[in-house]
Structure 1
Amino acid sequence: MSHRLPSTKELHAFVITAEELNFTSAAQRLNLTQGAVSRQILALEQRLEISLFQRHARGLYLTEKGAEFLPLIETALNQIQRAVEKISHDKHTIRLKAPSCITSWLLPKLMQFQQTHPDIDVELTSSINHKVNFSTEHFDAAIGYGELDKLPKLDHQLSSELLFEEKLTPMCSPSLFTEITPLALEKLTHITWLHATPGKSDWKLWLKQLSKNLHRPEINSMRVKQNQHFATLDLSINAAVQGFGMAIGDVTLAKTELEMGRLTTPYPLEVSSGKGYFLMRPKSSINPSLERLINELLHRHQ
């Protein structure tokens, strides 16, 4: 085996390709041609004298050696990135990734933080997904969403802090609320339900708990005449604000809209989904400015 080390470009291409298991998708993320990515992977395999992927008509699969190699390289790339940051990165800048649905809750807190800490800049990147890979994405921290008892344990290299637990309840424009009362549950079937999950899981969860509380099993099977689906929670809530229907929303994320009277909650029942929003960061990262931001967010979560 050659003792010449692979280039970081080859290793980075390997990590991204392993995540996508598709040369075309990996090429799009790397801003390269499919052929260029394929050649980088082939060069890496030749240098290591092992096969990292099984190539099939339907896509790629990691070999046993490839699966063993992946976490080692992710760790190595992460350590290189942190080493570079330790020497050259301005610790007064925080690069934060967050899902778009949380921006209404997050932005006021970031503005307050920057007013009290004018020497610290926060670069916020919004995304429609809740995932982050610190070995391939250059962020100091990220906000993730997941089950309360699982997300903090997903990766022993990450440190995570619970920002708030998700609590769900129906919400709509006050103009729509005039058409219903908390006691007239049957009228719900004549209102468009707005969904941010493909399986309508949020509505099902709330109806199940309401059925149990009221001892009315028929509520659990309640179905609506018209449904509207959205890709993200913030889109469904925005549609509710505009009076297009009723959404199941998180009371913390919708706090500003509720306080301004743009949304109202017709029913008092709030249901815990068992999930929450977490602020995650690599344990290897030492950033005093980030610690200040974390303390600010945790103390201002209400």
Structure 2
Amino acid sequence: MMRMPSTRELQAFLVTAEHLNFTVAAKHLNVTQGAVSRQILTLEDQLKVKLFHRHARGLSLTRKGNEFLPLVQQVMMQLQKAVEQVANEKLKIKLKAPSCVTSWLLPKLMSFQQAHPDIDVELTSAIMHSVNFSTEPFDAAICYADRAPGREGKNYLLFEEVLAPVCSPVLLQETVASGALSLTSSTPTPQPLQLDIDGLTQFTWLHATPQQTDWQLWLEQANVTGRFATQNQHFATLDLAVSAAIQGFGIAIGDVELARQDLAAGRLVRPHPLSVPSGKGYYLVRPGQSSNPSLDLLFDWLLAGR
């Protein structure tokens, strides 16, 4: 029977595969270069395959090394989860979510923590909108997708994305007061001020992507073609674009549900009444094989009132 590789050997393989350099791997593992090289050689002898090609200026994975890498990543991740589950007396749930849903999610998590103080929810916000439970250390995630993530286990729709222009009410008021935006009626300005497409184009449009897809989708549903603002500003994420809108830098296309608190508090207004479903949504996801009563409680809490 083949001797199982030690966790130290597997960890040496993972770090070396990441950096493809024994010297760099040794620094990360806080051992000598020779120790890392010997661990890799021992692992290759046990498996009776070469995992790395040795070059004058570094390493590269062999075909077998590339096959072995995701398997080791999965095993080490599962081992880490098992150790953390046994070691921690307090129940912990690791939740991953897109950064744009943080303002929507945090009040719900805080109320959950107050109701269940024995369960600690550790939230990680990320730009990536997907999750891979076999390689990432999360118990659950919120994913943004055009359909339910089919291969990632159990998933539940939290809400569908509905897009609409949003901006600071101060932006509109200051622009009208300066005379830069003229009104067609002499009646008092309604609150909030409603603009037509021409009025919208006089402001800077804030985009959550370089492709300007949210504004393009909204304009298509408004049956408007060939019209765009003369001033445009791009951001890396939706929450950054909406934050800029709250600060009065322009008009963003925001998700109505995610902006609900800011709209209710008057930090944002909708300068045009049209709202457009994007065809995408936010899904609460967990591994299909997971059995976790604490996670069941959290899912019930987040899914309540959908």
Instruction: Give the TM interval when normalised to the shorter protein.
Output: 0.7 to 0.9
One of 282, 287, 306 as aligned partner of 1:282: 287
Q: Specify the SS of the correspondent of 2:156.
A: strand
User: What is the TM-score when the length of structure 1 is the normalising length?
Assistant: 0.77
- Whether 1:160 aligns to 2:150 is no
- Whether 1:188 aligns to 2:200 is yes
User: What is the TM-score when the length of structure 2 is the normalising length?
Assistant: 0.76
Q: Which residue of 1 aligns with 2:257?
A: 252
Asked if 2 retains the 8 angstrom alpha-carbon contact of 1:142 and 1:281, the reply is yes
Shift of 1:63: 5.4
From the superposition, tell whether residues 85 and 205 of structure 1 become closer, same or farther in structure 2 (CA, over 3 Å). same
Q: Within 1, Cα distance between the matches of 2:40 and 2:142?
A: 35
From the superposition, tell whether residues 14 and 274 of structure 1 become closer, same or farther in structure 2 (CA, over 3 Å). farther
One of 164, 185, 189 as aligned partner of 1:169: 164
Question: Which structure would you say has the larger Rg?
Answer: 2
Aligned partner of 1:227: which letter? N
Equivalence map 1:31-42=2 (5 Å):
39=37, 42=40
Shift of 1:207: 0.9
- Whether 1:69 aligns to 2:68 is yes
Q: Which residue of 2 aligns with 1:296?
A: 301
From the superposition, tell whether residues 190 and 76 of structure 1 become closer, same or farther in structure 2 (CA, over 3 Å). same
Count residues with an aligned counterpart: 282
Q: Specify the SS of the correspondent of 1:153.
A: coil
Shift of 1:136: 4.3
Deviation larger for 104-113 or 77-86: 77-86
Shift of 1:17: 7.7
Shift of 1:114: 1.7
Q: Within 2, Cα distance between the matches of 1:174 and 1:166?
A: 23
Deviation larger for 46-55 or 222-231: 46-55
Deviations 1:163-222 (A, max 9, x none): 2221111110112334576452112222111111121111111111111xxxxxxx2221
Q: Specify the SS of the correspondent of 1:198.
A: coil
Q: Which residue of 1 aligns with 2:190?
A: none
Gapped regions of structure 1 (runs ≥ 5): 212-218
Q: Which residue of 1 aligns with 2:142?
A: 143
Shift of 1:14: 5.5
From the superposition, tell whether residues 185 and 84 of structure 1 become closer, same or farther in structure 2 (CA, over 3 Å). same
State the superposition RMSD in angstroms.
Answer: 3.6
Q: Percent identity?
A: 55
Shift of 1:113: 1.1
Q: Which residue of 1 aligns with 2:220?
A: 208
From the superposition, tell whether residues 110 and 62 of structure 1 become closer, same or farther in structure 2 (CA, over 3 Å). same
Q: Which residue of 2 aligns with 1:199?
A: 211
Aligned partner of 1:6: which letter? P
Asked if 2 retains the 8 angstrom alpha-carbon contact of 1:91 and 1:289, the reply is no
Q: Within 1, Cα distance between the matches of 2:145 and 2:276?
A: 16
Q: Within 1, Cα distance between the matches of 2:105 and 2:135?
A: 24
Q: Specify the SS of the correspondent of 2:201.
A: helix
Gapped regions of structure 2 (runs ≥ 5): 182-192
Aligned partner of 1:109: which letter? K
Deviation larger for 183-192 or 242-251: 183-192
One of 239, 243, 259 as aligned partner of 2:244: 239
